Amino acid sequence: MTTPMPLSDHARETLRLALPLAGSHLAQSALHVTDTIMLGWYGVTELAAVVLGASSFFIIFILGAGFAQAVMPMVAAALGRGDEAQVRRDTRMGIWLSIGYGAVMYPLFWWSEPIFLALGQDADVAALAQDYMRVAGLGLIPALIVMALKSFLAAIDRAQVVLWVTVAGVFVNAAANYALIFGNWGAPELGVTGAALATLATQLASLLLMGLYAHLNRAAAPFRLWQRFWRADLPALKGVFRLGWPIGIQGVAEAGLFVATALMIGTIGKVQLAAHGIAMEVVSLIFMFHVGLANAATLRAGRADGAGDARGLRDGAKAALAMSFAVGLLGIVLFLAVPEWLIGLFLDKANPEAAAVVAYGTVLLVVAALFQMVDAGQVMAMGLLRGLRDTRVPMVIAAVSYWGVGIPAGWFLGLHLGLGGGGVWGGLVIGLLVAATALMWRFWRIAPQVGA
């Protein structure tokens, strides 16, 4: 009989996987933070347009990313069984589905302005947002392939390269933004379009680096990921699709909660929308630590499931949850202690509207402190359930919690009762609380049965 691993060892192993993954998510988030900061210096209308455009890009991206994210638990389970051929098949079909999805969705980027106008957005903001979307949309397929490669590399314990490629992308994006938004270094001044071009260049560079690494690295090369890439594997395709589409829908349900808050706040005013965008960037920095820990939990749960180790699954979950709640506590302290300073980092103080944006954003960060623990709980429970390849019921839970509870609550508090952005964000708290409670209950209900 194998001696159970102590909880401290579970924590150590989870942290070893989570740190590079969290770092890569932070670096990915820093791409958007860079856009937000530089466009905040450029102009409030331009900032509002990119908040709207980037939020919309993200919700389309996250739907398709379900296929890429399905690669992670499937590869982890295959490795737990010692099935290397299945690793290649699952990853390849995840990339196939990502390419197909990106091609189908591009028309939404091209004709986005009428959609924004129909949703009640300011005409100037909608026009600039479409300019951003038309260029940024070209990066959807590269971004999705990169996500699939990240899942593959993380599952084979090569998460460090994911971190370093993403960090390199931050510097590429910052330099390209500086040149193309403001017209520095002899480049044309393109404003919003320049930000989109910088993001596209970063995505293409990341794809090139990730693809080469997956082909050349000694740990990754034996899987022969690109060998006969054009050959379909229908069982693997069906498996990735079956697991991935609920992940995508769940991601849209969660991302849609935040996009819907942006749309609701956009009807209040562009200053309020700009403040919302900045506050969301700040919140996302903490959230990326939770996502990294949840990814690590997915990998370890998948391997434990593949190996039939129910005790290791449960103990690993306890360790991951404890660390995620510690990160949530750190977020609460930051958002309550220095909210004005955090919001002010994104703005040119000489801008006459900056003070109003800081004041509004400060209120939103105080509300954000309320949902740190429930946000940690729901993302961790979702990660653990994915490790068990349980995605359909969590999808339903997420949809009901976010759209059936969170969005109506935000509309009622923020717009109907007139509490403004703080009330809209209050709806986030309620929706996330319902999701965290239901998802945690489901995981602990089914976890003891795994490997039994």
Looking at residue 355, its pLDDT comes to: 81
Looking at residue 441, its pLDDT comes to: 94
Each residue of 235-285: pLDDT tens digit? Answer: 888 988 998 899 888 888 877 777 788 778 878 877 788 888 888 878 887
Distance CA(314)–CA(293), nearest Å, equals 15
CB atoms within 10 A of CB 27: 22
Distance CA(192)–CA(170), nearest Å, equals 18
Looking at residue 134, its pLDDT comes to: 92
Query: Which residues does 277 contact at the CB level (< 8 Å), separation at least 6?
Result: 36, 47, 48, 50, 51, 55, 262
Residue spans per domain, the chain: 7-446
Tokens for 295, please give them: 């990814």
Asked if residue 175 has pLDDT above 80, the reply is: yes
Do the Cβ atoms of 329 and 306 come closer than 8 Å? no
254: amino acid identity, one letter: E
Q: Report the half-sphere exposure of 190 (CA within 13 A, side-chain side).
A: 18
Looking at residue 450, its pLDDT comes to: 45
Strand (E) or helix (H) holding 104: helix 84-110
Looking at residue 3, its pLDDT comes to: 66
Distance CA(54)–CA(136), nearest Å, equals 9
Helix (H, G, I), strand (E, B) or coil at 158: coil
Each residue of 69-98: pLDDT tens digit? Answer: 888 888 888 887 777 778 888 888 899 999
Strand (E) or helix (H) holding 144: helix 140-155
Tokens for 422, please give them: 């703080």
- Give the closest residue to 282 by CA, choosing from 195, 371, 345: 345
With cut-offs at 50, 70 and 90, classify the pLDDT of residue 105: very high
Find the mean pLDDT for residues 295-324. 85
CA dihedral for 144, 16, 221, 91, sign (positive or negative): negative
- What are the distances in angstroms from CA 363 to CA 273, 275, 295, 389? 13, 10, 31, 39
User: Who wins on pLDDT, 157 or 95?
Assistant: 95
- Kindly calculate the radius of gyration of the chain based on its CA atoms and give it in whole angstroms: 21
Which DSSP state fits 187?
A: -
Ramachandran region, residue 227 (left: φ > 0; alpha: ψ -120 to 50; beta: rest): beta
Each residue of 342-384: pLDDT tens digit? Answer: 888 777 677 777 788 888 888 888 888 888 888 888 999 999 9
User: Who wins on pLDDT, 307 or 441?
Assistant: 441
Looking at residue 208, its pLDDT comes to: 92
Each residue of 118-138: pLDDT tens digit? Answer: 888 788 888 888 888 999 889
User: Who wins on pLDDT, 25 or 329?
Assistant: 329
Distance CA(399)–CA(395), nearest Å, equals 6
Do the Cβ atoms of 315 and 3 come closer than 8 Å? no
Find the mean pLDDT for residues 291-299. 88
With cut-offs at 50, 70 and 90, classify the pLDDT of residue 451: very low
Asked if residue 165 has pLDDT above 70, the reply is: yes
CA dihedral for 239, 242, 246, 248, sign (positive or negative): positive
Each residue of 181-208: pLDDT tens digit? Answer: 888 888 888 888 888 899 899 889 989 9
Q: Report the half-sphere exposure of 257 (CA within 13 A, side-chain side).
A: 29
